[in-house]
Structure 1
């Protein structure tokens, strides 16, 4: 971490970090950049996953070499199967196996360097911190702080994430409520379109069913995506399924990621 944790300059940066707002999906984009700078690392990312369903929902963060990024939804790829196959024997699954959440773990907490390099998930053996928050069901939020090289993270670094933990969770929940409010404000036509998306229909099929042009379908969908804060149909369906699931409503299985 840059600077002493108890210094006035560091505390000022932390206060500014906690007051951030602005563009961003799960958290403000600026939050990741500022945290990356404060911890002196190459990448900070927030992953949303469900280990029981072997599914990643989104990954938002900041990398020094590419800037802010958002992968939503996370596409399935052949290597995903191998990653999940090794998951339960890796330190990544420690929170589920131990029931330890609201905790910050370093990859050096568990194994020797030789043991870490022998496992596919930790073969690079670069410094990493992980903060894990439960998110209902089997879902979790994981804040990952990564260095490509250099010294490992310190106890001050760990304590910093512990200090940020309740505020990070509050920021995320606030944005979740805002998205839920956006769902409540969609028009009857937009909700009708969303139900067609849940059935996996193409724009042409939706147009025929609703007796409108494909151009009108595209326009309605863009307005719907803007309202929900998503960029495509899969993300829109996943958001609706997530909110329905939390409310106890029947959940569509159409278009779910593996």
Structure 2
């Protein structure tokens, strides 16, 4: 029979999980997430715990972590096409798995809220995809268009999860959300927004070697619009300094000065001596300055 009362031991473990989730020791977000999954699994009495991001419309998951306390598994991008006969996606829309997509709000649910033991055992998703899962708690939080972060705790046998179990996960959910989002961002590179038709036109002309003004005239837009186009920042900057203003130019100026001093009647300084002083003083800077 499921527990119905929160104990002081439960409260201590809740505090420990929150402290671990807020870890500031410099551990990787993936490692901290595994530590949290282990503790949540023990708190709820699950056989395994999983974290993943899921985009139901795109049939895609970019990151998954799973542990049963002995094995620790990390998986990257998982994506199937619309024509795939993958049984998970085949039954996804008709199962409770798709509820976070449909409601698009934070939630904590369990399979037994929707199915009896008999119904769950005969559910196509259970029979073909999760035959070893007796019950599951799903905690989901939206994190972008069509995407939600999911924490799954599963049991393969024993009593089903009770109201106290889902309540404990509900208490933890807002404290775990920042960690899970940080973990996802640490392993998934940001996605650049797609270019507009106008941006593609600009970059196409830039690649042909046209200046900003020429591109602007060609497309009847302002040069400022051209400068703001994605990728335009990669164009080598126009040379605005006069030639001779860099290291080689500076050295040339000293050479000319040394030549004048060498023949000036008031100085009569040896030209080579001046050049030696200049080279020894400014030479080490050449490697850093380059041709400014």
Give the structure-1-normalised TM-score.
0.63
Taking a change above 3 Å as real, the CA distance of residues 115 and 100 of structure 1, as seen in their structure-2 partners, is: farther
Which of 113, 134, 141 lines up with 2:142 in the alignment?
Answer: 134
Are 1:13 and 2:13 an aligned pair?
yes
Are 1:102 and 2:106 an aligned pair?
yes
Q: Which residue of 2 aligns with 1:167?
A: 175
Q: Which residue of 2 aligns with 1:122?
A: 126
Question: Deviation digits for residues 103-153 of structure 1, max 9, x if unmatched?
Answer: 111101112333322322123360111011111011111111001100011
Contact 1:103 1:132 in 2 (8 A): yes
Aligned residue pairs, count: 186
Taking a change above 3 Å as real, the CA distance of residues 131 and 60 of structure 1, as seen in their structure-2 partners, is: same
Contact 1:45 1:59 in 2 (8 A): yes
Q: Which residue of 2 aligns with 1:61?
A: 66
After TM superposition, give the deviation of residue 27 of structure 1 in Å: 4.9
Contact 1:95 1:101 in 2 (8 A): yes
Structure 2 residue runs without a partner (length 5+): 197-292
Question: Deviation digits for residues 199-251 of structure 1, max 9, x if unmatched?
Answer: xxxxxxxxxxxxxxxxxxxxxxxxxxxxxxx5xxxxxxxx33xx235xx4559
Taking a change above 3 Å as real, the CA distance of residues 131 and 26 of structure 1, as seen in their structure-2 partners, is: farther
Contact 1:129 1:153 in 2 (8 A): yes
After TM superposition, give the deviation of residue 80 of structure 1 in Å: 6.5
1-side partners of 2:31 and 2:101: how far apart? 23
Superposition RMSD on alpha carbons, in Å? 3.0
Contact 1:60 1:71 in 2 (8 A): yes
Structure with higher Rg: it is: 2
Q: Which residue of 2 aligns with 1:113?
A: 117
Taking a change above 3 Å as real, the CA distance of residues 81 and 159 of structure 1, as seen in their structure-2 partners, is: same
After TM superposition, give the deviation of residue 89 of structure 1 in Å: 1.4
Residue 144 of structure 2 aligns to a residue whose secondary structure is: coil
Q: How does 1:73-112 map to 2 (within 5 A)?
A: 73-74=77-78, 81-97=86-102, 99=103, 101-112=105-116
Taking a change above 3 Å as real, the CA distance of residues 112 and 51 of structure 1, as seen in their structure-2 partners, is: same
Structure 1 residue runs without a partner (length 5+): 180-229, 231-238, 252-258
Are 1:50 and 2:55 an aligned pair?
yes
Residue 133 of structure 1 aligns to a residue whose secondary structure is: strand
Q: Which residue of 1 aligns with 2:159?
A: 151
Residue 134 of structure 1 aligns to a residue whose secondary structure is: strand
After TM superposition, give the deviation of residue 83 of structure 1 in Å: 1.8
After TM superposition, give the deviation of residue 25 of structure 1 in Å: 2.2
Which of 38, 45, 67 lines up with 2:43 in the alignment?
Answer: 38
Contact 2:87 2:125 in 1 (8 A): no
Contact 1:48 1:142 in 2 (8 A): yes
Taking a change above 3 Å as real, the CA distance of residues 5 and 52 of structure 1, as seen in their structure-2 partners, is: same
